[in-house]
């Protein structure tokens, strides 16, 4: 369960979609001056030097971050994302969701970052100490259990990022069950759940993922999924893309994310495809 290290995959195509969606949620919350609370259940190390052995082993940033370096954007969300990231990328560092949160958070807002991995928690604490402030708390604990324990937050306004490694098949129902518990306590919370798109080679996990998405969609008031495909879905493809399931999304987040990801796909090449599907609307 604790063998996974995000540094192996830092800056890959999945990170681009996940972090664009997360920044989109945060940006919508910042449109009002009222404070909010953010939760990151699987925060990881916070930021990842691309020269490190972990990053260099597979060099997955070449499929995500690298095509975007030096790019300009027409879409407002993608432009914000690039302006925030480019100075960090120029130092050969890929910022994980905690570093993005440190950069994007206002002084009146709060955040709780949770990480269970003993080798990641020190890096996370150091990242927040360098780039964050006293309103960002780091917790060495199971993120899903911590999320249920700390919600609803005060103020009752905010969002959650859930980004498990899904190494074990039981992580899918755990995400679904704990998210449902959170929404029973915090009905208006915005929740972003990342998930992999898996080929037939991993059929049991792929089915578990679809069951999870159905449960998540039913638990919220509204819900859409957004998916980035980067390879052909052949039997042995493994993870051919990924998605985010966004529960209770802000008004027009679907449009802003779609426009941003269409630009991202052009930068990534003709093999990249994006789609967005509403799974539950207020009328349904």
Alpha carbon distance, N-terminus to C-terminus of the chain: 37
What is the topology classification, in CATH, of domain 6-280? Rossmann fold (3.40.50)
User: How confident is the model over 47-80, as pLDDT tens digits?
Assistant: 998 876 666 677 777 788 888 999 999 999 999 9
- For 142, the token pair is 């199971």
Radius of gyration of the chain (CA): 17
Alpha carbon distances (Å) from 210 to 12, 172, 204, 284: 23, 9, 10, 19
Q: Which residue in 15, 40, 109, 163 is the catalytic one? A: 163
pLDDT at res. 53? 64
User: How confident is the model over 141-174, as pLDDT tens digits?
Assistant: 999 999 999 999 999 999 999 999 999 999 999 9
- Among candidate residues 139, 89, 100, the one with its CA nearest the CA of residue 19: 100
Query: Going by C-beta distance under 8 Å and a sequence separation of 6 or more, which residues neighbour residue 90?
Result: none
Domain boundaries, the chain: 6-280
163 catalytic residue (yes or no): yes
pLDDT at res. 216? 97
User: How confident is the model over 78-126, as pLDDT tens digits?
Assistant: 999 999 999 999 999 999 999 999 999 999 999 999 999 988 999 999 9
Query: Going by C-beta distance under 8 Å and a sequence separation of 6 or more, which residues neighbour residue 184?
Result: none
Between CA 23 and CA 38 the distance in angstroms is: 11
Residue 73 CB-half CA count within 13 A: 25
pTM of the model: 0.95
């Amino acid at each position: 369960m604790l063998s996974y290290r995000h540094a192996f995959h830092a800056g890959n195509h999945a990170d681009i979609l996940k972090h664009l969606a997360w920044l989109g949620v945060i940006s919508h919350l910042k449109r009002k001056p009222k404070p909010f609370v953010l939760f990151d259940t699987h925060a990881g190390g916070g930021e990842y030097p691309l020269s490190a052995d972990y990053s260099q082993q597979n060099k997955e940033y070449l499929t995500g971050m690298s095509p975007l370096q030096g790019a300009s954007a027409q879409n407002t969300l993608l432009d914000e994302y690039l302006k925030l990231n480019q100075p960090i990328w120029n130092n050969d560092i890929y910022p994980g969701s905690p570093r993005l949160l440190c950069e994007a958070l206002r002084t009146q807002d709060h955040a709780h970052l949770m990480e269970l991995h003993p080798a990641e928690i020190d890096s996370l604490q150091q990242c927040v100490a360098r780039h964050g402030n006293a309103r960002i708390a780091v917790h060495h604990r199971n993120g899903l259990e911590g999320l249920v324990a700390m919600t609803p937050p005060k103020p009752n306004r905010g969002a959650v990022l859930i980004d498990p490694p899904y190494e074990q098949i039981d992580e899918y129902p755990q995400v679904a069950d704990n998210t449902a518990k959170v929404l029973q306590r915090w009905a208006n919370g915005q929740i972003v759940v990342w998930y992999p798109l898996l080929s037939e080679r991993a059929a049991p996990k792929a089915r578990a993922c679809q069951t999870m998405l159905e449960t998540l969609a039913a638990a919220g008031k509204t819900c859409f999924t957004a998916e980035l495909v980067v390879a052909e879905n052949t039997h042995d493809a493994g993870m051919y893309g990924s998605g985010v399931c966004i529960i209770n999304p802000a008004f027009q987040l679907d449009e802003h994310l779609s426009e941003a990801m269409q630009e991202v796909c052009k930068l990534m090449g003709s093999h990249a495809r994006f789609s967005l599907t509403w799974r539950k609307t207020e009328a349904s």
